[in-house]
Structures are given as C-alpha cells and as structure tokens.
Amino acid sequence: MYHPSENPVVIKFIHSPFTVSRLVDKSEIDTPALIVDVDVMIRNIRDMAKFAKERGLKLRPHVKTHKAPQIAKMQVEEGGNGICVQKLGEAEVMAEYGLDNIFITNEVVGRLKLSRLAKLREKIEVFVAVDHLDNIRDLSNIMRDRGLDLGVYVDVDCGMHRTGVPPEKAPDLAEAITRSEGLYLVGIMAYEGHAGAPLGREERKNLIRKAMEQTLFSVKLVERKGIEVNEVSVGSSATVRYSGMFEGITELQPGMYIFNDYYLVEREAATVDTCALHVLTTVMSRPSPDRGVIDAGSKTFHFDMNRYPIAVGVEGVEIVKFSEEHGWLTLKGEAQHRIRLGDRLEFIPYHVCPCVNQFDTLYGLKGDKVQYMWTVAARGKVT
C-alpha cells in the first residue's frame, strides 16, 4: 500500500536505469527536466477522488497524461476505480506493472491490434470503445475464438465530432454488442473535450450541458430497447466538475488534472498554484540584454497548441519562439539585469501531456529534495 507520508521511497524500475539511492537536491538535476511538486500532485489526485466520491461516481483517471505506472497506482489507491489509457501500447505497459483494470477509451482496430488486445484480455480486465459494427464483429470473432469476454462501451459523439456515433445510432451498436459472442456491453462513453476549449465560462457551460444532454439521450435510446446501460463515462479535466453534476453520469475519466497546465489555468479549471509539474531549464545563452535562450525547445515542451509555456517565479521572462532545442526568451524590466547565463528557470507547459511524453523520467520533489523518480514507461507507446 502506498502512503504519501512515509519515508522517501527507493524505487527500482524495470525500464529505468535510475534508482534513487539518496535524497538528491533539485540543484543536482540536470536540465531540461520535468519536476513535480509531490504535495500538489497528491492534492490534485485527492481533490478529484473526493469530488467523484461525493457525487457517488466512479473515477477512472486517464493516465495518458503521465504515462507512469507508479503514479497510476497512486491514483488507484487514492480512490480510482481502475484507469483509462488512450492506446493499446499504454495498456500493455500499465499491465506489465500490475495495473489490472484498464479502459482503452478508444477504438482498437486492425488484425494486429486485435490479436494484442486478446492477449492482454487473457491477463487483465480490459475494456474498449467502439463506434462501428465491423469493429464489433471483429472484436467478437477474436474474443469468441479465444474463449474470452470483453467489456465494450459504445462511443457516442456528444459534439466533439472526432470518433463516436451520433446518439441515434447508439442503440444499433448496443444491440449488436449484446448479440455478439465474446462481448458484453458496459455502457456509453462520450468525451466532451471540445466543451472545455472556449475561454468564456458561459460558452463552456453551454457546450458541456449540450454534450451531457446528447450523452444522456443516447442512454435513454439504448434503454428504450430494453438494454441495460451500466456505466456512462465522460469527463475531461476542463469540464468534469460540471459534467459530473449531471444525473445519469456514472464514471469520470479526466487526465490532466493530476498535473494541470496553463491550458487549464486559462479555463478556470486550475490555478498556477495547482500546476504540479514544471519544466526545469537552464539559460544557455544571453545574446543581448533583452534576449536569452534556454536549453529547452519544441523537443522538450512539444508545441501542439501554438501557445508557449509560462515562466514561474520570475517576472519579465517570456518564451517567444522555439527551435528544436532552444527556447527563445524576451526579457523585460528587471529581468534584463537579473537573468544570467546558467540561471535555472521553471516553466508551466501550456499542454502538459505531450510535454511529458518527451521524457523518460519525472522527478517528484518535496521542497528542494527529490523524493521520487518515476519512469514514464508508456511514453511513445502510440501503437
């Protein structure tokens, strides 16, 4: 059992060359590096677990944000009902580390993947989402042939227009699942990530409400056919505190809340103080008083939303451009005198998930001491 209050943990990882053999100081971490405030992270984990519990909802944290099995275990032990992943490869890694109840919130399609999925199902409880009758047929064939049963959620498009069927089509898929050997229906999944995107609170609320109405309408249609819907799974970090209030929702699957990021700060789902993960960098060049360069560029932060990370704990420092390995800084006011070559600067990523995916290790800090080194074992597992 994991106890955050216990003494520093020495962790040895299958995939990692690292072990923490003594308490390393933050100043000994080479840069760029991902540093996590352990207390803030644990508070984030517990706050979300408390929210779900108070609402009588299941919480399946989406671990695509951190991809670190040890952290996934903490989330389960702190009140998670299993975990979510986005990719089969992530599920395989998590299972290797002992996580045994995993919802792949995605369609698993193609001969090679189905064979891997069946292998995984032989070992652990795993669930998938579907949005196509052909996929239901293929899943059923392989599970039946191998004598397995697989839990399936119908993926409903609640307004994002990515994957998922419109609510009106959900009963057809639900019926097909209940008729398919080797499969059983768990319920409905609807991801309302689009609803968290607008900067205006009212616009977000409207979109979330519409998304939940669509989701619950699909549930009604399925139930009208006499088919039982056990779980109704929704939730992104930007929306979950509102979507989780709708009667009929049973399960939440937020991911980013564990670390938070500036995307969530701008959408009032986090504050700078609840951003647990910072990128630690070093000023590697000072070409002129108003310019600096850090040793972290697009290969460190990733750059998928056209927004730069935000400097913390220092005034007048702004990233204005990325090269692969360089972050171009503009320095204003006092920063023009204060910032020196070799200074270490911290940034909150704008979008934390792809940033974490660039790294092998997360350093968990208590104050200035490294307490944990977590291996990002599922990084790059995109198949």
Q: How far is the CB of 258 from ligand PLP (least distance, A)?
A: 9
Instruction: State which H helix or E strand residue 121 sits in.
Output: helix 111-123
When asked if residue 255 is in the footprint of ligand PLP (CB under 6 A), the reply is yes
When asked if residue 237 is in the footprint of ligand PLP (CB under 6 A), the reply is yes
- For 282-287, which contacts have Cβ atoms below 8 Å and span 24 or more sequence positions? 282/31, 282/32, 282/342, 282/343, 282/344, 282/345, 283/329, 283/339, 283/340, 283/341, 283/342, 283/343, 283/344, 283/345, 284/326, 284/341, 285/326, 285/341, 286/339, 286/340, 286/341
Alpha-carbon distance of 135 to 83, in angstroms, equals: 23
The residues with which 234 forms a beta bridge, in sequence order, are 252
Alpha-carbon distance of 208 to 214, in angstroms, equals: 10
Q: Which is nearer to ligand PLP, 79 or 193 (CB)?
A: 193
Q: How far is the CB of 24 from ligand PLP (least distance, A)?
A: 30
Q: Which is nearer to ligand PLP, 35 or 256 (CB)?
A: 256
When asked if residue 350 is in the footprint of ligand PLP (CB under 6 A), the reply is no
Residues 257 to 276: which contact ligand PLP by CB under 6 A?
none
Alpha-carbon distance of 153 to 177, in angstroms, equals: 9
Q: Which is nearer to ligand PLP, 8 or 193 (CB)?
A: 193
Site size for ligand PLP, by CB under 6 A? 12
Structure tokens at 113: 């993947």
Q: How far is the CB of 164 from ligand PLP (least distance, A)?
A: 9
When asked if residue 256 is in the footprint of ligand PLP (CB under 6 A), the reply is yes
When asked if residue 8 is in the footprint of ligand PLP (CB under 6 A), the reply is no
Task: Figure out which of the listed residues 151, 254, 309, 327 binds ligand PLP, where binding follows CB under 6 A.
Answer: 254
Q: Which is nearer to ligand PLP, 13 or 103 (CB)?
A: 103
Q: Which is nearer to ligand PLP, 40 or 294 (CB)?
A: 40
Q: Which is nearer to ligand PLP, 62 or 67 (CB)?
A: 62
DSSP-derived letter for residue 249 is B
Preceding peptide of 309 cis, ω within 30°? no
Residues 161 to 200: which contact ligand PLP by CB under 6 A?
191, 193
Q: Which is nearer to ligand PLP, 65 or 358 (CB)?
A: 65
Only one residue has tokens 């750059």, namely 303
Neighbours of 4 (CB within 10 A): 16
Q: Is 97 exposed, middle or buried (0-12, 13-18, 19+ CB in 10 A)?
A: middle
Task: Figure out which of the listed residues 13, 38, 51, 62 binds ligand PLP, where binding follows CB under 6 A.
Answer: 62
Pairing of strands 183-189, 150-155: parallel
Binding pattern for the stretch 81-120 against ligand PLP, x by CB under 6 A and - elsewhere: ------------------------x---------------
Task: Figure out which of the listed residues 253, 260, 357, 358 binds ligand PLP, where binding follows CB under 6 A.
Answer: 253
Pairing of strands 291-294, 327-331: antiparallel
Q: Which residues bind ligand PLP (CB under 6 A)?
A: 62, 65, 105, 191, 193, 236-238, 253-256
